[in-house]
Amino acid sequence: MKRIFLLLAIISVLTGCSSAYKQSFEEAEAALESGEYENALKLYNTALEEKPDSSEAKDRVVLLHEYEEVKEKIELFNWTEAADLANTLLKNEDIVPSLQNEVKTLLVTIEEEKEKEKQNANDLKVIEKLISSDGVEEAASKLSELKSNIKSDALNSEIDNLYIELGAAKKRIAEKERLEKEAKQRTAEEKNLKNKYIQQAQELEHRIAKEASDLYANNPPPGFFGQYYNEWDDLLNEVWGVLKNTVSKEEFKEIKADQIWWVNNKEKGFAELPDETASARAAGMDYLANLTEDRTFYLIGNHIK
């Protein structure tokens, strides 16, 4: 009798286990079909607790783990590995239609993200070219937009490097603009300087001509122009000082050699002039004044920039 009771108890336990397994497995299948994959996995594991040797439940658990692994690879932006796992999963004979459609959707997402990464890589090259060609404003705009659109960390180092290059380019452009501004200022100052000395020379010339006209009706006696020799010589020396401080060393070296030649010839010419009479000596001073006037205009016109 005891044996009969024991047998009945065992049958009852086995029947209960079988019933619990069946219920969990059926609920898991329903959850799988409706796309409740996390809940389905829990229910399959519950079924395996009731029937550890169930190959059906084991296969479903493996299937869902592989699906979760695909999603994990996607979250890590490992598109190639995710695609390989997804394609392997689709070949699984035990895959149900709902999961099959979900995996296909993931594959589409993977391919789209891979194309985005290619486009991002191309955008990086475009930005790099913009930076190298000093298009910093457009490069900064594109770089900011790209950084906000990128989801993965794969291109972070490249983006960081481009920001460094962008900063260096901005400094380079700022320095270039500063030098150009200074050059323009120097040009303007030199132009003003040239105009200043042309005006001074012309004013002296006009004043002398007016005095000659007022006093002698433009027929001045010998020595009239010679009396202005010191004024022309002072202006010449002032112009010479300006040249010394504004032209390059090489250019000033050439001007200096020419100036020495001019001074020697001026003195030689003056020495050869007759000076026996007062009028001859006066004419000699006219000669010096006229040569100095011509030289002053020459230096201003040809060497002051």
Could you read off the pLDDT of 14-58 as tens digits, one per residue? 444 578 899 999 999 899 888 899 999 999 999 999 999 998 989
Rounded CA separation 50/64 (Å): 19
Domain that holds residue 233: 181-303
Over range 58-71, report the average pLDDT.
Answer: 91
What is the rounded CA–CA span in Å between residue 301 and residue 146? 57
Question: Are 67 and 149 within one domain?
Answer: yes
Assess if residue 81 is contained within a domain.
Answer: yes
Q: Does position 10 have pLDDT exceeding 50, yes or no?
A: no
Domain final residue, candidates 154, 173, 207? 154
**Are 105 and 193 found together in one domain?**
no
How far apart are alpha carbons 44 and 270 in whole angstroms? 122
Does 117 share its domain with 193? no
169: burial class by Cβ within 10 Å (0-12, 13-18, 19+)? buried
Q: Check residue 13 and give its pLDDT.
A: 43
Domain boundary residue, one of 154, 169, 200: 154
Cα–Cα distance for residue pair 202/16, rounded to 1 Å: 124
Q: Answer whether residue 290 shows pLDDT above 70.
A: yes
* Tally of domains in the chain: 2
| Residue at 22 is within a domain | yes
Please tell me whether residues 148 and 190 are part of one structural domain: no
Tell whether 25 and 149 lie within a shared domain: yes
Band (143; pLDDT cuts 50, 70, 90) = confident
Contact 299, 239 (CB under 8 A): yes
Could you tell me if 118 and 46 lie in one domain? yes
Are residue 28 and residue 147 in the same domain, yes or no?
A: yes
> Residue 220 burial by CB count (10 A; 0-12/13-18/19+): exposed, middle or buried?
middle
How does DSSP classify residue 152? S
The C-alpha atoms of residue 97 and residue 164 are separated, in whole angstroms, by: 50
Whether residue 42 is found in the same domain as residue 122: yes
Choose one of 154, 170, 200: the last residue of a domain.
154
Q: What percentage of the chain reaches a pLDDT higher than 70?
A: 92
Q: Are 138 and 190 within one domain? A: no
Does residue 36 lie within any of the structural domains? yes
Q: 197 lies in a domain?
A: yes
The larger pLDDT score, comparing residue 85 to residue 218, is at 85
Cα(39)–Cα(57) distance, integer angstroms = 14
pLDDT of residue 7: 43
3-state secondary structure of 174: helix
- Tell me what the pLDDT averaged over the chain comes to: 87
Buried b (16+ CB within 10 A) or exposed e, 177-209: eeeeeeeeeeeeeeeebbeebeeebeebeeebe
Q: End-to-end CA distance of the chain: give it in Å, rounded.
A: 130
256 domain residue, yes or no: yes
Tell me what pLDDT residue 46 has.
93
In the chain, what's the furthest Cα-to-Cα distance?
A: 173
Contact between 29 and 54 under an 8 Å Cβ cutoff? The reply is no
Report if pTM > 0.75.
Answer: no
Q: What is the pLDDT of residues 207-228, one digit of tens each?
A: 999 999 999 988 999 989 999 9
The pLDDT score that the predictor gives to residue 149 is 78
Claim to verify: residue 138 and residue 227 sit in the same structural domain = no
Are 136 and 216 in the same domain? no
Residue 9 has pLDDT above 50, yes or no: no
- Assess if residue 176 is contained within a domain: no
Do 54 and 112 share a structural domain? Answer: yes
DSSP, res 276: S
